Structure 1
Amino acid sequence: MENSEGKIWTGQFFVALINNFFLFIVYYALLTILPVYIINDLKGTEGQAGLAITIFMLSAIAVRPFAGKIIEKFGKRKILLISELFFCISTILYVFIDSLPLLFALRLFHGIWFSLVTTVLISIVNDIIPDSRKGAGIGYFSMSSNLAVVFGPFIALTTIQWSTFKILVIALATAVVIGYLFAFTLKVREYQVPRTTEKRARLTLHDLFEVKALPIAIIAGLTAFAYTSVMSFISVYAETKDVFEYVSLFFVVFAVAMMSVRPITGPLYDTKGPSAVLYPSFIFFAAGLFLLSTMDSAVTLFIAAVLIGVGYGSVVPCAQALAIQSAEKHRSAHATSTFWTFFDSGMALGAFSLGIVSAHWGYSSLYVVCGFVIIFTIVIYWLLLRGHKKVTYTDSASVQGK
């Protein structure tokens, strides 16, 4: 529940942050290790390994637009506890998977609950953070998922070296179950929907998307598209440049750079507005991508990691806070689902189309293209959101605490 003292690091915030960290640890650990498990243990092909990843993403994307309406109808607390319960069950079920059809079915099922639980958790933590510190608070909360990008693959790859896939799954399941138990301690604020929007004869665009969040959601989609070049292709690109052994350190440097600027970018957002953070962050991000296109050594790789960590690592939490604050409080779940629908779609489209770019023109050209995508994103941001200097909430419906 939102506090009135301007504090971010409350017990409630910490519980939500750790919970989110565990959820994304599972997501990124499985993203890293499932292709290896499919090829080596289930005797699948590289195409089937890619399909297992794609099914999860498509499942999550398909549910995102409906997440806000579902949360609005049944309440944040109920959806949190139900969706996280099924996320835990889904994680545990990987222990029993011994065939590709079962794995594909589980990935479809898992993606649904991942989509719902991550959407509702952001909506809940938004109420915990005081209005005056939204930029800093959302930034720190987002850092939990960004850190999982590093720790998830590290845990997965380290564990699999001395143990089995099933032991890894048991460890991941234990973590999310602990997070789920702590979720019961969260005090959730439920917002009553204005009567004018309570009853509708049929499903409308308003039920699926928050129109006020669409401009920044478009920005998020373009940003995610460009970042896919890092998530999906940095390893194979590094291998062609004979610096593959430094890829894991790339993400460590990325995380350190991101964390180093977070105490600056959050307060800057709250005092000077989103543009003060987004414009320089886009420039750092683009510079990092252009530098990757010329990579010829580990030093270049690490400098790019710093630039991308400062740039991309600042853009996403800032954009997410802006999306949430663009709507009335009772529509925060819709704004969140709109943001992540476009973000996830950008990732999926990027993984597909950039694979074609790399196949025809090479990885260096891929990073040049993505650098120009971010330059284009700056122009789109200027056209759509240049008027946003400092964001404050519009008061909305009365609330009832639970």
Structure 2
Amino acid sequence: MVGNLFIFMSFQMLIPTLPPYIKSIGASGTEIGLVTALFSIGAVLSRPFIGFMLEYKARRPLVLIGAVMLLLITFLYPLSQVVVIFLAFRLIHGLAWGWSTTVNGTAAVDLVPNSRLGEGMGYFGLSITIGMIIAPSLGIFLFQVTSFDNLIYISGALGVIALVLLGTIKYNTPNQVLTTKKADLKFTYLGSLIEKSGWFPAMLTLLINLGYGTIVTFIVIFGDERGIDQIFLFYLCNAILASLSRPVAGKWFDQKGPVGLVILTISITIMGMWVLSFAHSNVMIAIAGVLFGIGFGSLIPTLQSWTLSMTPPNRRGVANGMFFSSIDLGIGLSGLIFGVLAQFIDLGTLFRISSGFIVLALILTIAKGRRTKEVQQPKEALS
């Protein structure tokens, strides 16, 4: 968990700072947009291949290779004074990110007993949530007070710490994976992109991140428009409440299953989205952060645990790749769709419109819960 936190910190602090950097070396508006698009494409492209490898390879070398690749590409950025070369680095970075996130999540779930899957992945998910919340603010601060090269050195230092930590772990590779040979498997890109048993929670993840992506893209601009000078309160309250609520949500998952928990956390996330959309003060920003910490902070690891709980151990690498691709695609598509709409409507309205995707996820989950009860009741009557 701590090793993965440093991976996410090292990476996420670059997300808000690379666009202004590439602009400073002469990139056009379209080329700035490609900074995110090419990265997302790289991540989605690589995950089916690494998911396939996880069906027959031990965890340790794959985890360390991913950490080394991320570290190397991070240190290459200051060398890219030509826009085309920078964008090529960005695509390669996406390929490495897809590798690392898929492998690390799979290695983590292999260490957790199945009876405590929700709780264990809830703790592991803290590394993702806290990294995604804290690191962008840290990156913006460093970009403003120091040089881009120094920002890269700090990011790289975090990556080195991650590599050292991940190298100390005693990994657990399932026996079914150890006894499988590559020759026994047949690779198809679609077969390694989608794990059919976990498609439903992965689809919910895509829809929810289509809604959440507007916050990732526009919250700093939103704060400037509304004259809110303490926008960091959203991130701070989010991180604190996510950390406090995650263990509780994980135990709920293990004891009562995912459907009720997902319905509750989606509902709280929608509330947070609407409170944020009407915010004109630091207090409302903080309240929105609290709601997001409880809702979205517990929702994403719950969906990951749900996806993995429905998946055979030897296919968890594919399922993890599908889950993280759902996040990347959701946020990437959200930026494209709502980036166009943002030219015509205010950002508060944009947040409310994008919450429609999260509402759709809520409706589908409620329907799923009702169908599950209808199937269970005849079985109980027969027994």
**Fold shared by both chains (TM-score > 0.5):** yes
Equivalent pair of 1:140/1:262 in contact (CA under 8 Å): yes
Q: 2:292 aligns with which of 295, 308, 315?
A: 308
Query: Which secondary structure does the structure 1 equivalent of 2:367 belong to?
Result: helix
C-alpha deviation, 1:210, in angstroms: 1.0
Counterpart amino acid of residue 187 in structure 1: K
Partner of 1:350 in structure 2?
Answer: 334
C-alpha deviation, 1:87, in angstroms: 1.3
Segment drifting more, 177-186 vs 274-283: 177-186
Partner of 2:220 in structure 1?
Answer: 235
Partner of 2:363 in structure 1?
Answer: 379
Is residue 2:211 matched to residue 1:223? no
Equivalent pair of 2:52/2:187 in contact (CA under 8 Å): no
Separation in structure 1 between the aligned mates of residue 210 and residue 67 of structure 2, nearest angstrom: 28
Equivalent pair of 1:273/1:388 in contact (CA under 8 Å): no
Query: Which secondary structure does the structure 1 equivalent of 2:173 belong to?
Result: strand
Separation in structure 1 between the aligned mates of residue 372 and residue 49 of structure 2, nearest angstrom: 28
Separation in structure 2 between the aligned mates of residue 325 and residue 387 of structure 1, nearest angstrom: 19
C-alpha deviation, 1:122, in angstroms: 0.7
Is residue 2:74 matched to residue 1:94? no
Is residue 2:265 matched to residue 1:272? no
Q: Which deviations, in whole Å up to 9, do the C-alpha atoms of 1:58-90 show, x marking residues without a partner?
A: 111222233211222443223222222111111
Gaps of 5+ in 2: 374-383
Partner of 2:20 in structure 1?
Answer: 36
Gaps of 5+ in 1: 1-16, 390-402
Separation in structure 1 between the aligned mates of residue 293 and residue 180 of structure 2, nearest angstrom: 44
Q: Which deviations, in whole Å up to 9, do the C-alpha atoms of 1:11-46 show, x marking residues without a partner?
A: xxxxxx122111111221110111222223x13344
Tell me the C-alpha RMSD between the 2 structures: 2.2
Instruction: Sort the Cα spacing of 1:46 and 1:253 in 2 relative to 1 into closer, same or farther, 3 A.
Output: farther
Separation in structure 2 between the aligned mates of residue 67 and residue 237 of structure 1, nearest angstrom: 38
C-alpha deviation, 1:348, in angstroms: 1.1
Query: Which secondary structure does the structure 2 equivalent of 1:140 belong to?
Result: helix
Equivalent pair of 1:287/1:371 in contact (CA under 8 Å): no
Counterpart amino acid of residue 99 in structure 1: V
Counterpart amino acid of residue 188 in structure 1: Y
Is residue 2:144 matched to residue 1:155? no
C-alpha deviation, 1:133, in angstroms: 1.5
Partner of 1:12 in structure 2?
Answer: none
Give the TM-score taking structure 2 as reference length.
0.90
Give the TM-score taking structure 1 as reference length.
0.86
Separation in structure 1 between the aligned mates of residue 33 and residue 303 of structure 2, nearest angstrom: 29
Separation in structure 2 between the aligned mates of residue 266 and residue 201 of structure 1, nearest angstrom: 35
Counterpart amino acid of residue 211 in structure 1: K
Separation in structure 1 between the aligned mates of residue 301 and residue 186 of structure 2, nearest angstrom: 36
Instruction: Sort the Cα spacing of 1:95 and 1:386 in 2 relative to 1 into closer, same or farther, 3 A.
Output: farther
Partner of 1:258 in structure 2?
Answer: 242
Instruction: Sort the Cα spacing of 1:237 and 1:182 in 2 relative to 1 into closer, same or farther, 3 A.
Output: closer
Separation in structure 2 between the aligned mates of residue 270 and residue 200 of structure 1, nearest angstrom: 32
Instruction: Sort the Cα spacing of 1:127 and 1:74 in 2 relative to 1 into closer, same or farther, 3 A.
Output: closer
Counterpart amino acid of residue 68 in structure 1: G
C-alpha deviation, 1:204, in angstroms: 6.1
Separation in structure 2 between the aligned mates of residue 357 and residue 241 of structure 1, nearest angstrom: 18
Partner of 2:376 in structure 1?
Answer: none
Query: Which secondary structure does the structure 1 equivalent of 2:230 belong to?
Result: helix
C-alpha deviation, 1:162, in angstroms: 3.3
Equivalent pair of 2:56/2:182 in contact (CA under 8 Å): no
Instruction: Sort the Cα spacing of 1:201 and 1:240 in 2 relative to 1 into closer, same or farther, 3 A.
Output: closer
Instruction: Sort the Cα spacing of 1:105 and 1:205 in 2 relative to 1 into closer, same or farther, 3 A.
Output: closer
Is residue 2:293 matched to residue 1:325? no
Partner of 1:129 in structure 2?
Answer: 112
Counterpart amino acid of residue 224 in structure 1: N
Q: Percent identity?
A: 26
Is residue 2:84 matched to residue 1:106? no
Query: Which secondary structure does the structure 1 equivalent of 2:87 belong to?
Result: helix
Partner of 2:188 in structure 1?
Answer: 203
C-alpha deviation, 1:295, in angstroms: 2.3
Separation in structure 2 between the aligned mates of residue 224 and residue 88 of structure 1, nearest angstrom: 27
Partner of 1:146 in structure 2?
Answer: 129
C-alpha deviation, 1:353, in angstroms: 0.7
C-alpha deviation, 1:50, in angstroms: 2.5
